[in-house]
Structure 1
Amino acid sequence: RTGFIAEDGNVLLSVDYSQVELRLVAVMAGDESMLAAFRAGQDIHATTAAAVYGVPLADVTKEMRRHAKAINFGLIYGMSAFGLTRTTELTLAESERFVKAYFERFPGVKKYLDNTRKLAASQGYVETLLGRRRYFPALKSGTNPQLRSREEREAINAPIQGTAADIMKMAMLKIPSALKAEGLQSQMLLQVHDEIVLECPRAELEKTAQVVQKVMEEAYPLSIPLSTEARWGHSWGAMQVMETD
C-alpha cells in the first residue's frame, strides 16, 4: 500500500464501512438483540463477549472481545465450534459453550442461518437483499459430499457478503455525481472489499470525506444505520483517522 502515493498538493482519502456484514446479519435475521446493540451504538464484539462470557459489558477484556470477534465472523462464514478452536486458543468444550451462549443471546441469527441453509439446499441458490442470486448446484445434486459441505458454508455467507457488495456498488455509482454537485475535484481511485480510496486536493479533504461518508451511509435504506470511518494520508500505507465533529 505504501506504493500508492498522492500527487503533489493532493492526499489520499480512504472511507470504509464499519462492521457492515454484521449489521446486515442483524437486519436480514431480524434479530432484535443485535439490532438493539447497533442502534445503541454499542461495540458488537464487546456485546457478544458479554453474552458468551456472562459478564457485564464494562468488564469485557481485550481477550474476551477477540474471542467474540472470531465467533461473530466465524459463524456467518459457516464455522462450527470445532472450526472456532482452530482460529483461537479455546478448547472444543469452550467453543461449544460459547456458540450455544451466542445463539441464546441472538436467536434470530440462529434461525436465519438454519433457514438459509435449508433454502439453499431446496432451491439451489440464495439471494442478496437486492435480489441478486448465487447458485450452488452441488447442494441439489449431493453427489460430492466435500463440495456440498463447502457450498453450504458459502451459501450461508453469500447473502450477507453479497448484499454488502451490492451496497458498495450502489454507493460507488452515486459518489461521482455527489462530488460534482459540491464542485469538488476529488476522484475515486479504487475499491477494495468495504473500502473506497479517493485522491483529492488537500483543501477539499474534509468536505470530500463528509460527502463520501454521507453517500456510503445512505446508499441503501436499512432498519439500522450504516457506519463508516475515514482515514487520510499522502500514502495509502500510512494513514491517520479523520477526527469527526
Structure 2
Amino acid sequence: MAADYSQIEMRVLADACRDPGLRNLFATLGGTNDAGAGTGGGDVYRKLAAQVFGKEEQSVSDEERNRAKVVCLGITYGMGTPQVAKKLEITESQAQGLVRSFLKAFPGIEPFMAATRRFARENGYVCTLTGRRRHLPEINNSRNAAAKAQAERQAVNSVVQGTAADIMKTAMVLVARRLDAWRSRLDEGLDCPRLIMQIHDELVLECPACEEDLEKLKGLLADCMEVEAPAVLGIKCPLTVNMLVGMSWGSMRRVVSHDEDDDDSE
C-alpha cells in the first residue's frame, strides 16, 4: 500500500502565505490524482485558472489551465520567468504578465515571498517550519545579479519544499509509532504492516493481503498524515493523501472510496 500526499507543496504555500482564496480552493478539493483532478470534486488547476483569468470554471480552456498550472508550480518550485516562458513557449513579457495575474488573484503570496526574501538577505539563510536552515551565500551577491536572483527564488522554494519534508518526516514518525503499537498487540507469528520506504511525498508499506488489515492501515495512514502530522506542526490548510494498493509496486491502483463508487454508478 502507498499513501501519497496530494499537491503538498502547493498546500504548504497556501498555508504559509495565509491567502484565504488559495486555502479555500484546497478545502473544496479533497485529494487529487496526478492529473490534478480532485476526489472531492473539481480540478485544482482549472480552479486556479478560473481565478487567475477571472472566468467561470467551466469556461476555462485547456490552454488557460496549463498556463495556470505552470505558473503555480513555477512559483512553488522557484522557476524564473525565462523558465516559465520556455515551458509555455511564450515570450518572457507574456510570462511575466501571467505571473502578475496569478499573484493578483492570490494576493497573500507576494507578501510572503517578499518577507522570505527579506529574511534571507538579512540573515543569509531561511528556515523551514521546524527551524531547519538552508544557507544562501549568494543572496547578497551584488556582483552577480543572476546568482542573487536564483538565491532569492531558492529562498522561497526552500521554505515550501523544506516544510513539506518536515510534514512527511513527522508523519513517518507517527506512522512508525502506530505500527509498533499494532505489532505489540499481535499474537506471535502474525504479520504486521511495515513501512518500506519514503519517496518524496509518498510512503510505501507492506501489508498482509487481508481486507480487515488493509482497511485498518488506510485509517491509520489517514489519521497520521492528514490529521495528526499537520496538527503537530500547526498546519491549517487541509492536507489529503491518495491511497494506492496492489500486490506489487508496479500494480498499485488508487483506492476508491465508497462515495466515489456511488458517484460512478449514477
TM-score bucket (shorter structure)? 0.7 to 0.9
Structure 1: gaps (5+ residues) = 1-12
Structure-2 change in CA distance of 1:229 and 1:125 (3 Å): same
**Offset at residue 66 of structure 1 (A):** 2.2
Equivalent positions of 1:157-172 (< 5 A) are: 157-172=157-172
Aligned-partner Cα distance in 1 for 2:249–2:145: 43
Aligned-partner Cα distance in 1 for 2:48–2:91: 18
The equivalent residue for 1:110 is: 110
Letter in 2 for 1:106: F
Equivalent positions of 1:147-226 (< 5 A) are: 147-182=147-182, 185-203=192-210, 204-218=213-227, 219-221=229-231, 222-226=235-239
**Offset at residue 142 of structure 1 (A):** 4.5
Q: Which moved more, 1:175-184 or 1:206-215?
A: 175-184
Aligned-partner Cα distance in 1 for 2:3–2:78: 28
The equivalent residue for 1:119 is: 119
Aligned-partner Cα distance in 2 for 1:95–1:150: 17
Letter in 2 for 1:178: R
**Offset at residue 158 of structure 1 (A):** 0.5
8 Å Cα contact 1:217-1:227 kept in structure 2 = yes
Partner secondary structure for residue 139 of structure 1: coil
Q: Which moved more, 1:45-54 or 1:102-111?
A: 45-54
**Offset at residue 54 of structure 1 (A):** 2.7
Aligned residues: 233
**Offset at residue 141 of structure 1 (A):** 5.1
**Offset at residue 78 of structure 1 (A):** 2.9
**Offset at residue 194 of structure 1 (A):** 0.3
Partner secondary structure for residue 107 of structure 1: coil
Match for 2:7 among 3, 6, 19?
19
Aligned-partner Cα distance in 2 for 1:47–1:112: 22
Query: Which protein, 1 or 2, shows the higher relative CO under an 8 Å CA cutoff with sep ≥ 6?
Result: 1
Off by >6 Å, runs of 4+ in structure 1:
none
Structure-2 change in CA distance of 1:206 and 1:63 (3 Å): farther
Deviations 1:24-57 (A, max 9, x none): 1111111111112122336432222112333211
**Offset at residue 193 of structure 1 (A):** 0.6
8 Å Cα contact 1:51-1:101 kept in structure 2 = no
Deviations 1:73-115 (A, max 9, x none): 1012332333211112334343232212111111110111122
8 Å Cα contact 1:121-1:140 kept in structure 2 = yes
Identity score, percent? 35
Q: Does 1:227 align with 2:240?
A: yes
Deviations 1:197-238 (A, max 9, x none): 011111022221221122111212221221100111122223
**Offset at residue 156 of structure 1 (A):** 1.4
TM-score by length of 1: 0.87
Aligned-partner Cα distance in 1 for 2:159–2:55: 32
8 Å Cα contact 1:53-1:98 kept in structure 2 = no
The equivalent residue for 2:24 is: 36
TM-score by length of 2: 0.80
Aligned-partner Cα distance in 1 for 2:176–2:76: 33
Aligned-partner Cα distance in 2 for 1:92–1:152: 19
8 Å Cα contact 1:179-1:208 kept in structure 2 = no
Aligned-partner Cα distance in 2 for 1:154–1:93: 22
More strand by share: 1
8 Å Cα contact 2:197-2:203 kept in structure 1 = yes
